[in-house]
Structure 1
Amino acid sequence: MSIRVLVVEDEEIAARAHAAYTERVTGFETAGVARSAGEALRMLGADPDIQLVLLDMHLPDGHGLGLVQRLRAAGHLCDVIAVTSARDADVVRAAVAQGVVQYLLKPFTFATFRDKLEQYAAYRAQLSSSGTQVAQHDVDAMFGALRSRGGSAPLPKGMSAESLRDVADALRAAEASMSASEVAAEIGASRVTARRYLEHLADTGSVERTQRYGGAGRPEIAYRWR
């Protein structure tokens, strides 16, 4: 039986991407998409068979960790994987303290997303096979299943994690959207290289594409961090 997943993400493009990614991983199915904490609570109340929540931390009606607290107070025992751009160490510590089983930072590739879900599936399989009583080796195997099996999945050929981080940092620091040329100048790369990374970030739902009009000629594509 497939693991039923609720995607909680307020950004429409990212929500669609995460739902589609979930459907591509064997053994998982998207039970629904919630765009707010309140909607997530209603959907979980209506569907008790949801087993996993993919949770963004920045929601329009509250913080993701506040939703986790409300879930537990309401008796929902579903597991939670944070899928977020929140990099604050205090948020990560609080997430661990509240039982978030995995923490996936945006931007990421589908391969990295799949790896996290497969780790979670291995954890559930180990938990199910242990019976009602567990020994130390059972507990070790359960928690070991949640650890990375070889680190983050590789980026598309020809791309580096360092350059991707530089592009992402440039967009995060910008007060307005940036073109590929502007990002290239900021990080010291060619326009073609910058655009490739920007398109990758847009395809993974971390960046929004917009059209910038000004002067004669065709409009320019600009990118804004979500």
Structure 2
Amino acid sequence: MGVVQFPDMNGLAFLKWIREHFTNIDIIMITAAREIDTLKQAMHGGVFDYIIKPIMLARFTETLVRYKEYYYKMHELMKGKELIGQEDIDQLIRREQTTGDADDSLPKGIQPLTLEKVLAVVKQCKDGITAEEVGKRIGASRTTSRRYLEYLVSISQVTADISYGSVGRPERIYKLKR
């Protein structure tokens, strides 16, 4: 089993200790641990979010924005109320009904048409492809391509691996998840 490690203790044990001693603390776990059991334990421990390394700035920023929204909604609900309704709870835990486009379910900066193009290119490359190569094929920058590829990794449609070439820095190679 993978374990979330600190220099002198197990991160899951630390999570449990935090919950026992500081019940009002919200936790965003950032870890290299990818095992489902570790994720389950962290979720049962009440983490707000679970981010797998390497950390992508866009993903981390999205989490901080969601946490900020949650924090302010929670404090608004607590103002002068002893009881709350189901609608308040649903809004707080982001289960409110969405109306309008299916685009509402995509994070900011991810457009459905570009996402389809990126996914189509990855599907064509059985041996994997870099963000730079995807960008060239769809007419986008490497940065834009990488944002879409990392989004696809975050929703488990694509995997990422690192290729250590002979010159320069390592490249991330993206493949369709099988």
TM-score where L is the length of structure 1: 0.45
Q: In the alignment, which residue of structure 1 is the partner of 2:170?
A: 195
The alpha-carbon distance between structure 1 residues 88 and 196, as it changes in their structure 2 partners (threshold 3 A), is closer
Secondary structure, counterpart of 2:27 in structure 1: strand
Q: In the alignment, which residue of structure 1 is the partner of 2:161?
A: 166
Alignment pair present for 1:95 and 2:42: yes
Q: Identity, % of aligned pairs? A: 22
Alignment pair present for 1:128 and 2:75: yes
Code of the residue aligned with 1:66 in structure 2: it is A
Q: Distance in 1 between matches of 2:145 and 2:34?
A: 26
Secondary structure, counterpart of 1:137 in structure 2: helix
Q: In the alignment, which residue of structure 2 is the partner of 1:141?
A: 91
Q: How does 1:4-153 map to 2 (within 5 A)?
A: 57-131=4-78, 132=81, 133-144=83-94, 150-151=106-107
> Is residue 164–residue 197 contact of structure 1 (8 Å, CA) maintained in 2?
no
Q: Distance in 2 between matches of 1:82 and 1:153?
A: 24
Secondary structure, counterpart of 1:60 in structure 2: coil
Q: CA deviation at 1:195?
A: 3.4
Q: Distance in 1 between matches of 2:165 and 2:56?
A: 20
Secondary structure, counterpart of 1:144 in structure 2: coil
Deviations along 1:168-213, one digit per CA (max 9) or x if unpaired, are xx6xxxxxxxx423xxxxxxxxx66x73549xxxxxxxxxxxxxxx
Q: Distance in 2 between matches of 1:157 and 1:164?
A: 17
Runs of 5+ in structure 2 lacking a partner?
96-103, 111-141, 174-178
Q: CA deviation at 1:109?
A: 1.8
> Is residue 27–residue 46 contact of structure 2 (8 Å, CA) maintained in 1?
yes
Code of the residue aligned with 2:71 in structure 1: it is R
Q: Relative contact order: is structure 1 or structure 2 higher (C-alpha 8 Å, sep ≥ 6)?
A: 1
CA-atom RMSD, angstroms?
3.2
Q: CA deviation at 1:82?
A: 0.7
The alpha-carbon distance between structure 1 residues 107 and 101, as it changes in their structure 2 partners (threshold 3 A), is same
> Is residue 111–residue 153 contact of structure 1 (8 Å, CA) maintained in 2?
no
Runs of 5+ in structure 1 lacking a partner?
1-55, 171-178, 182-190, 199-226
Q: In the alignment, which residue of structure 2 is the partner of 1:22?
A: none
> Is residue 160–residue 172 contact of structure 2 (8 Å, CA) maintained in 1?
no
Secondary structure, counterpart of 2:144 in structure 1: coil
Alignment pair present for 1:156 and 2:133: no
Question: Which is richer in strand?
Answer: 1
The alpha-carbon distance between structure 1 residues 111 and 75, as it changes in their structure 2 partners (threshold 3 A), is closer
Code of the residue aligned with 1:136 in structure 2: it is Q
Number of paired residues? 121
Q: CA deviation at 1:127?
A: 0.6
Q: Distance in 1 between matches of 2:35 and 2:109?
A: 23
> Is residue 130–residue 138 contact of structure 1 (8 Å, CA) maintained in 2?
yes
Code of the residue aligned with 1:79 in structure 2: it is D
Q: Distance in 2 between matches of 1:103 and 1:77?
A: 18
